[in-house]
Structure 1
Amino acid sequence: MSIKVAAIQMCSGMDVERNVETLKALVRDAAGQGAIYIQTPEMTGSLQRNRKALFASIRPEETDLVAKAASELARELNIHLHIGSTAIDLGEGKVANRALLFGPDGQKIASYDKIHMFDVDLDNGESWRESATYQPGCEARVIALPFAKLGMAVCYDVRFPHLFRAQALAGAEILTAPAAFTRQTGEAHWSILQRARAIENGAFMISAAQAGVHEDGRETYGHSIIVDPWGKVVAEAGGTGEAVLVAEIDIAAVAAARAKIPNLRNSRDFALVDAV
């Protein structure tokens, strides 16, 4: 089955309402090009480093502006719309980095809270402690859509291959890691990680990204990407600014790749023994 899919590249600022208007324009563009599955990047609603300002701008999912707009767009355009993630107020000082998936009827099909927190100290002096603000999720997701089974993940999750392997073993044919990758880590690892997750699981990898210099001072790598199950880059955006990345993919390529390299079937349990 061949379908058109899209990855929306953004440079989200701190104004949620302005980001929502950008989201609407880019999603309508992708749908106009025939995409029936459209994905946005991590933190579509806003990129905000200041904790106090973040809490002042976010809402529970039931009243979240991104979720409301996504539901309306999915219904209006008759698409599956995957919000890569947005910050959701959980109450009592807790926040989720939450992905949301809406169907053509505008109803939410699934949500996923980012499991792995980006707590790192980089060579260029950047230091991130995502766990200081966000509550990690504990449940992976594979969703049966009319055209394929979809696995949901977010950004830093891409460095944990066992998550994607579990999704592939559960039947996922499309894997995802929408992101706000830092420029330093993106230049070093973004493309190879995306291709590796696709190759080792014989699945499509679709990852929309944030790109450019943001209002809160961070710089993200961009290069939203679509990779086929053989590891070929089908489409890739540039490193700055907004973009609408559309590609036609054939879901049958998943079965073909897994037949050629049946590593999901060939995997064996083993014991790890200390050297004497």
Structure 2
Amino acid sequence: MASKFRLALIQLYVEKFRPNNLARASRLIAQAASNGAAVVVLPEFFTCWCDPKYFIENKEQLDGPTNRMLSQAARDNRVFLFGGTFPEAIPDSEMLYNTCQIFNPRGDLVGMFRKLHLFDVDLGPRMKITESEMMVPGKSLTVVDTGFCRTGFGVCVDLRYPELARLYAKRGVDLMTYMGGFSLTTGPHHLQVLQRARAIDNQIYVANVGPASNHDAPYVTYGHSAVADPWGRIIGETGSDEDIVYADIDLDLIADTRTRLPVDHMRRDDLFETRDLTEEQT
């Protein structure tokens, strides 16, 4: 396994219409690959505006237009592509999944993740969100071995749960990838703090990529996609506009950090533990 590779986070400016977003994402994937990225990540809900009306208008099956674009883009550019998320239609139901598909450089689908935690909050005027009214949570963790690293996945509010990142770390992931459209209310105060904490907790790389801010959209996302290293340092970041964040990942830093600060060796497993119930049920 190579110890170094380039990661690219595409902070896409999401428009109202899916065909425009797919075309825009395809162009930026090619741009990232031309700049040496071996792994490319798209944001949460990159196919449509983050709003129930647009979720319903743009819902699709797993083999729909988003799947086809992502597969072709991964193949054409010879990259591992973590395909952001889209509203996945559930057969015989009005409910939806928030779904990410992962493709290898041959364009093969090698993994899929559905958002685990639903965002049901009341944060004041214009910020009452109840995802559980139309979304169904996923039921499993997803780990993909790219050949560059083992990667675990989360979406948006999944970042708030240290237990989830801990379970992934126990499965041996080197990189946690969160696709999250944090809001202008929570993003400035919570996003980077949570990201750095998950990196420090588990001594792994943590990436978060959200859509660029679009003030014409019903829900305005914060942007500020970034990558934190195992020491908790931000090694790549951007602001609120459309951009590509590049980070050169050095997996040797994980071992070095754990040698210098052996948190797991000092852990009091006799007093507490984080159990992976999904593995116990299989």
**Which TM-score band (shorter chain)?**
over 0.9
Q: Partner of 1:50 in structure 2?
A: 52
Moved beyond 4 Å, runs of 4+: none
Question: 1:271 offset after TM fit, Å?
Answer: 6.4
Give runs of aligned pairs for residues 224-243 of structure 1, distance below 5 A. 224-239=225-240, 241-243=241-243
- TM-score, normalised with respect to structure 1: 0.93
Match of 1:251 in 2: 251
Q: In structure 2, do the counterparts of structure 1 residues 18 and 246 end up closer, same or farther at CA, with 3 Å as the change threshold? A: same
Contact 2:43-2:179 within 8 A present in 1 as well: yes
What does residue 185 of structure 1 align with? Answer: 186
- Map of 1:36 onto structure 2: 38
Q: How does 1:7-18 map to 2 (within 5 A)?
A: 7-18=9-20
**Structure 2 spans left out of the alignment, 5+ residues:** 274-282
d(CA) in 1 for partners of 2:139, 2:216 = 31
Deviations 1:43-93 (A, max 9, x none): 111124134x43232211112x22211100111111000012111111211
Secondary structure (helix, strand or coil) at the match of 1:211 reads coil
Post-superposition offset of 1:214? 4.8
Distance in 1 of aligned mates of 2:86 and 2:257: 33
Separation (CA, whole Å) in 2 of partners of 1:260 and 1:142 = 27
| Superposition deviation, residue 252 in structure 1 | 1.1
Residue matched to 1:103 = 104
Secondary structure in 1 matching 2:166 = helix
CA distance in 2, matches of 1:118, 1:165: 21
Check whether the contact 1:12–1:214 (CA below 8 A) recurs between aligned residues.
no
AA at the equivalent of 2:171: A
SS at match of 2:99: strand
Please say if residues 237 and 245 of structure 1, whose CA atoms lie closer than 8 Å, have aligned partners that are also in contact: yes
* Distance 1:213-1:25 versus aligned 2 partners, 3 A rule: same
With over 3 angstroms needed to count, the CA separation of the structure-2 counterparts of 1:251 and 1:271, relative to structure 1, is: closer
What CA distance in whole angstroms lies between the structure 2 residues aligned with 1:215 and 1:93?
Answer: 27
Query: Does structure 1 conserve the Cα–Cα contact (< 8 Å) formed by 2:58 and 2:87?
Result: no
Q: C-alpha separation between the residues in 2 aligned to 1:269 and 1:122?
A: 39
Residue 14 of structure 2 contacts residue 214 of structure 2 at CA under 8 Å; is this kept in 1?
no
Distance 1:271 1:257, change over 3 A: closer
Q: 1:215 offset after TM fit, Å?
A: 4.1
CA contact (8 A) 1:144 1:150 kept: yes
Give the number of aligned pairs: 269
**Kindly, what percent of the aligned residue pairs are identical?**
29
Partner Cα separation in structure 2 for residue 22 and residue 71 of structure 1: 15
Asked if 1:73 corresponds to 2:73, the answer is yes
**8 Å contact 2:49–2:218 — kept in the other structure?**
no
The gaps in structure 1 that reach 5 residues or longer are none
CA displacement at 1:124 relative to structure 2:
4.3
TM-score by length of 2: 0.91
- The aligned counterpart of 2:25 is 23
Letter in 1 for 2:21: N
